[in-house]
Structure 1
Amino acid sequence: MSDSSHTSQFALLGQRRFAPFFWTQFLGAGNDNLFKFAFTVLVTYQLSVSWLPPAQAGLAIGALFILPFVLFSATSGQLADKYDKARLMRFVKTLEIVIMAAAAYGFYAVNVPVLLGCVFLMGLHSTLFGPVKYAYLPQHLNEHEITGGNGMVEMGTFVSILLGNLAGGLLVATPIVGPQHVAIACVVVAVLGRATAQAIPASPSTDPDLVINWNPVSETWRNLKLAHGQLAVFRSLLGISWMWFFGAVFLANFPAFAKEVLHGNEQVASLLLMVFSVGIGVGSLLCEVLSRRHVEIGLVPLGAIGMSIFAIDLYFASRGLPPSAAMSVGSFLSQHAHWRVLADLGLLALFAGLYSVPMYALIQMRAQPSHRARIIAANNILNALFMIASSILAAALLGAGLSIPQLFLVVGIANAVVAFYIFLVVPEYLLRFFAFVLSRLIYRFKVSGDQHIPSQGAAVLVCNHVSFVDAVLLMAASPRPIRFLMDHRIFRVPVLGWMFKLAKAIPIAPQKEDPATYEAAFAAAQAVLDDGELVGIFPEGGLTRDGTLQPFKGGVMKLVEGRPEVPVVPMALQNLWGSFFSRVEQGQAMVRPFRRGFLSRVGLVADAPIAAREVTPELLRERVAGLLGEPDELPARVSGRTPTPS
């Protein structure tokens, strides 16, 4: 995996490890939609096919395109794990040229059965490409780049979908020669995609000895079991599939919503699609900025909240609009009420981008590399099934008499219920959201040296203990979950205690006070290390009462005993003393909430790891003190009387 010092996700477009892949994906998504939309318009408006009524053409084309995802995703995931991903992408793009050549014949001859067959084959093309696409990124991008890379791919996909739909609609509408123009465009875009794929760098197989199971049913079940072995990954798959369920309701109903509710023409329907696509793109790009180039799943609850708020407000914004003749885009935009509809739709899509990108990044980073493509294939199957279920449920609700705005209201409320359930079942999302809010909206939190926090494998994180939210700030700084050893008394603090229980923090008591709890705590923490996870510990044994660094206790020695391969990472929280959550007045904390003002600056600095065999309490304290300042300046530095280093 290449390391990079780029400062923006857009810099990836200048690098060979990303740019050819990006443009290959961009052109493929655009060609899919150019072909499908042009074909849909052709059979809806220009042809009269007795066995394919216009009202059913869109549904039939959509179902044919999705069917290969259900049938062949399990096989495509195995292929992506077994073979070099660059070679596989080049094969898929060559296949696209063949399919588009057949489609060109179908357009020239106006042969609907041939074009329907090509829809199925393009669905197969996308099925083969999907697992390769998401398994490719973690082989070439590091943890700091993966969120930005996914954001670029999601943005590019939706922009490409938009451009493909617009191009398909415009080309096919050309009098007399429209189908021929579409045929030429589809072949040209396919050839361009194959040319960009040629420059994709090698991406070696992650499981070359894999024996392909050609049975899609048994392999799909096996893939789901693989994903279920990592609950955070499996529940992220369900979360992404729910997002597609949610989004499919809106995308499928844009034409009817534009016509029946907003009283607009086809151009207004295209405007809705454009606003939705731009919203998704902006939200996807914002992920890297808001996550500070980490995999920040704290954005997922934020995204879910925004999706529900603006879906529900879309109901209130669109109900009761007065009837009128079909409006053009200009007439539509001249009415102020319609701007609220567009704002709701754009913001709904923006928050959907914030919701989905971190989930994709989490799956890529935490899935076993040897099984990554198969787990992504399982995700594609779930996505397809959820989208089919979405179509069936939406049709049933509309058939039962609900209006389209009421359907949006029901989906918005359902999203809130589903999100609440997911966050209770997987509290890591909620905890990261709380850490995100604390570190971005309450403090101005700056992290330095975070490259020293291992991206995989066991490690012990050692930090000074200044406030009741130290653990939350460490969560915000680490892309991986941390299990903390924490004083058992903190679990009795309202709200914070509940939160630390959700985080599965390990309660510990002084050995003299409660030897059983003391021994159980270290046994639990050592089991976490044996599982290859992170453990956080505050070796001072309690919150500082005067802002100075207290002596370190020997618990960390017990923690790494017999584990010489486990590194210990010294860390220091800066400028927290005197804040709302630290003890300051008569030893009390959480009094006078704004005594330091709003958005006060705090920091965390991590130092290079120390090998377990070299660790002593004195050495650790010396290293942490060095991160806070020189020993003779230590009280001033810890107490916050000097500014946090920039």
Structure 2
Amino acid sequence: MSGQFALLKQRRFAPFFVTQFLGAFNDNLFKNALVVLLTFHAVQWTTLAPELLANLAAGIFILPFFLFSATAGQLADKYDKAVLARLVKVLEMGIMGVAALGFLMHSLSVLMVALFLLGCHSTLFGPVKYAILPQHLHADELVGGNALIEAGTFVAILIGTLAGGLLAGSVEHPVWIAGGGFLVALAGYLSSRGIPAAPAPAPALTVNLNPLTETWRNLRFARENRTVFLSILGISWFWLYGAMFLAQFPAYTKNVLGGGETMVTALLAAFTVGIGAGSLLCERMSGKHVEIGLVPFGSIGLTLFGLDLWLASPVGLVGTTAHQLSALLSLPAVWRVLFDIVMIGVFGGFFIVPLYALIQSRSETSHRARIIAANNILNALFMVVGALGAASALGAGLSIPALFAIAALLNAAVAVYIYGLVPEFLLRFVAWLLVKAVYRLRSEGVERIPLNGSALLVANHVSFADAVILMGASPRPIRFVMDHRIFRTPLLGFVFRHCGAIPIAPARDDPALLEKAFAEVSAALANGELVGIFPEGNITRDGELQPFRSGVARILAANPVPVVPMALSGLWGSFFSRIDGVAMKTPFRRGLFSRIGLRVGTPLAPDEATPATLHERVLALRGAVK
């Protein structure tokens, strides 16, 4: 994982990482310190109940996300994001001045204004935070950069929450809380000075200050790309799911585990370690490209470990006094609870990091920040709905472990719904499993597949798994031209059709479908997509490379694009090959983890890419291993 950590030494990432880390830290330091003060010293500030004050503070902090996210997205598209980051830090220092005034005046109203302004600070920084990454990072660094941001954010939240509680209980006068926040904001401003310029993608944009109409417009931008919009819904669902679990930790500790504040901290730390580890592992597991196949894997883990947390929750631990942390950690049942929470965090990282990277890579550059603003609005909405739903369920008598179980089952239902709408997630998951679990793929030259623009990918055809394996190895989606008969298979037909595969038939079988296939290939290449073909026309029956047909020449005559030769090896003799005459007849024919290879050659110019030349290149790339 040295690749992503190397970003922390580079100016195009490190100053921004420190800036966002300190911002998340400061938000939670002030918010939690204020909540602790109002919880334990409420009579000094107001006659309202502490429980009401805590929820009021949470609501005031999240309100700006609804009111100003749309405006924040416009500003991040119109102005240099590095300049905006510095201005946000200046605002943060001013907010700490307002907080200091509130503490000096002993005014709850002024402190709530400061909390509201801190929510505004986070709202303004949100679109900058995610829209700046694609401007400063290369495509193969996007997953690693997002992983560091997610891990750093949760660590900052945990440390800030702990520091806020400690500060509230240890300083003689609460004005020192604002003083500490000001120093953190100052450090954030100084680090922001090192962020390189991030020029505005839409400097001529006219800012619309109406939050309702602009919110609707941002959502419309997001809906233009179905995969991006469903990714936003997936991220919003995760924040609902994760926030619901985190919100229950204090009551779960008290009413189920029988512990005190230190046990709550242990649960928060377990979740933070988990999501940090899961986020950082994403780069290695995805091969440094945006691997959305990890998203279904993440949702499976979120469901399984959410259900196990319900099953693992002990009974009979609650006593008249809170148990010490050491006493609870001596119980195997508590370690199982901690393990489940760590794993929820790990699989949460697998789920959320690829989705953020997908939104950044597939959003239109001119309004990427506004799409991220739409994401922030929906995140906030989902968290509020989740909090209200959890409060209603618990108020109706549902136990906290049972709430965890219901949330886990709902997570499975949401996952099935999203993957049904966009089978690309599911297909990439199957491809990822084939590449990582069923086979041991060794690839060479994958970086030769263009990260942008159209290209024709040409490969040998050894097995029924070829297209799926190539999808799993490619950093970008590929639209494969496939035999029309595979679309008659209920499951495979549904998945490939929704992933943009192009059905083709021989002229003698269906000349109209043949012409339609060439028209779709031409349209895809004109639109800047990758198109994959198997010029042999059929899966080999003897393991040898068959002659390449003339369809390549027809495609290039209409769309002269670069041609990338690729060769699969090691699949002949596998379950999916026709070594026994009929494929998929003998399960585990070669066992699991058998070695396969993929070699990608140097792209050829269109005028060089004749069928004979391509046949020669693919054969040379494959070598002696079939």
TM-score (structure 2 length as normaliser): 0.97
1:22 is aligned, of 17, 23, 40, to 17
Structure 1 residues 311-460: aligned runs within 5 Å: 311-318=306-313, 320-324=315-319, 325-460=321-456
Match of 2:263 in 1: 268
* Structure 1 unaligned regions, length at least 5: 1-5, 630-636, 640-646
Q: How far apart in 1 are the matches of 2:497 and 2:67? A: 42
- 1:234-245 maps to which residues of 2 (within 5 A)? 234-245=229-240
How far apart, in 2, do the equivalents of 1:122 and 1:401 lie? 35
The answer to whether 1:87 aligns with 2:83 is yes
Q: Which residue of 1 aligns with 2:218?
A: 223
* Aligned counterpart, 2:156: 160
Q: 1:309 aligns with which of 304, 307, 329?
A: 304
1:118/1:175 Cα in 2 relative to 1: closer, same or farther (>3 Å)? closer
Aligned to 1:615: 609
1:279-318 aligned at under 5 Å gives the runs 279-318=274-313
Q: 1:51 to 1:134 in 2, by over 3 A?
A: same
Q: How far apart in 1 are the matches of 2:229 and 2:452?
A: 19
Query: Helix, strand or coil for the counterpart of 1:561?
Result: helix
Q: What is the alpha-carbon distance in structure 2 between the residues aligned to residue 180 and residue 392 of structure 1?
A: 33
Q: Is the 8 A contact 1:319 1:405 kept in 2?
A: no
When residues 373 and 441 of structure 1 are mapped into structure 2, their CA distance, relative to the original with a 3 A threshold, is same
Task: Give the unaligned 5+ runs of structure 2.
Answer: none
1:271-300 deviation per Cα after TM superposition (whole angstroms, max 9, x unaligned): 111111111111111111110111000000
Q: Distance in 1 between matches of 2:225 and 2:510?
A: 34
Match of 2:72 in 1: 76
The answer to whether the 8 Å contact 1:549/1:638 transfers is no
Correspondence 1:248 to 2:243: yes
Q: Which range moved further: 511-520 or 129-138?
A: 511-520
> Which moved further from structure 2: 476-485 or 318-327?
318-327
Which residue of 526, 531, 534 corresponds with 2:527?
531
C-alpha distance in 2 between matches for 1:604 and 1:622: 16
Equivalent position amino acid for 1:343 in 2? F
The answer to whether 1:56 aligns with 2:59 is: no
* Corresponding position: 1:140 with 2:136: yes
Partner of 2:583: 589
1:527 shift after superposition = 2.2
Comparing 406-415 and 508-517, the one that deviates more: 508-517
How many residue pairs align between the two structures? 624
SS state at 1:612 partner:
coil
Q: Could you report, residue by residue, the CA deviation over 1:528-587 in whole angstroms, capped at 9, with x for unpaired residues?
A: 2233222110001111122221111011222233323x22211111222222211212x2
Residues of 1 paired with 2:493 and 2:210: CA distance?
49
Bigger drift between 360-369 and 611-620 goes to 611-620
SS at match of 2:170: coil
Structure 1: distance between partners of 2:519 and 2:615: 24
Match status 1:184 vs 2:174:
no
1:633 is aligned to: none
Mapped contact 1:81–1:372 kept (Cα < 8 A): yes
Does 2:468 align with 1:475? Answer: no
- Sequence identity (%): 57
Q: Is 1:626 aligned with 2:607?
A: no
- Partner of 1:45 in structure 2? 40
Match of 2:357, SS state, is: helix
**How far apart, CA to CA, are the structure 2 residues paired with 1:389 and 1:341?**
26
Structure 2: distance between partners of 1:72 and 1:487: 50
For residue 13 of structure 1, the aligned residue among 5, 8, 11 is: 8
SS at match of 2:258: coil
Change in CA separation of 1:112 and 1:469 when aligned onto 2, cut-off 3 Å: same
Find the residue that maps to 1:539 and give its secondary structure. coil
Q: Distance in 1 between matches of 2:367 and 2:490?
A: 42
> Would you say the 8 A contact 2:292–2:429 is kept in 1?
yes
Q: Taking structure 1 as the reference length, what is the TM-score of the superposition?
A: 0.94
Task: Determine the C-alpha separation between the residues in 1 that align with 2:261 and 2:2.
Answer: 41
* Structure-2 separation of matches of 1:315 and 1:130: 34
Moved more, 606-615 or 148-157: 606-615
CA distance in 2, matches of 1:504, 1:102: 54
Q: CA deviation at 1:496?
A: 4.6
Following superposition, the deviation at residue 319 of structure 1 comes to 5.2
- The alignment's C-alpha RMSD in Å is 1.6
1 CA distance for matches of 2:317 and 2:181? 41
> For each residue in 1:298-347, what CA deviation from the matched residue of structure 2 results, as whole angstroms up to 9, or x when unmatched?
00001111111111111111153443221121122122211111111111
The AA in structure 1 aligned to 2:178 is A
The alpha-carbon deviation at position 411 of structure 1 amounts to 0.8
Give, as a single letter, the amino acid of the residue that structure 2 aligns with 1:262: L
Give the counterpart letter for 1:299 in structure 2: L
Task: Map Cα deviations across residues 334-385 of structure 1 (whole Å, 9 max, x no partner).
Answer: 2221111111111111111110110000000000111100000000000011
Rounded to whole Å, the distance in 2 between the matches of 1:496 and 1:576 is: 20
Give distance in 1, aligned partners of 2:223 and 2:607: 36
Q: Distance in 1 between matches of 2:443 and 2:408?
A: 36
Q: Is the 8 A contact 1:548 1:638 kept in 2?
A: no
- The answer on whether the counterparts of 2:62 and 2:380 sit within 8 Å (CA) in structure 1 is yes
Q: Please state whether the residue corresponding to 1:580 is helix, strand or coil.
A: coil
Which region of structure 1 is more displaced relative to structure 2, 391-400 or 554-563?
Answer: 554-563
Instruction: For 1:589 and 1:562, locate their aligned partners in 2 and report how far apart those are by CA, in whole Å.
Output: 35
The one-character-per-residue Cα deviations of 1:415-463 (angstroms, maximum 9, x if unpaired) are 1101110000110110000001000000011222122212222221111
Find the aligned partners of 1:265 and 1:351 in 2 and give their Cα distance.
27
Query: Structure 1 residues 574-583 or 198-207, which shifts more?
Result: 574-583
AA of the residue aligned to 2:281: L
Question: Is contact 1:151–1:357 with CA below 8 Å preserved after alignment?
Answer: yes
CA distance in 2, matches of 1:319, 1:222: 48
CA shift for structure 1 position 185: 1.5
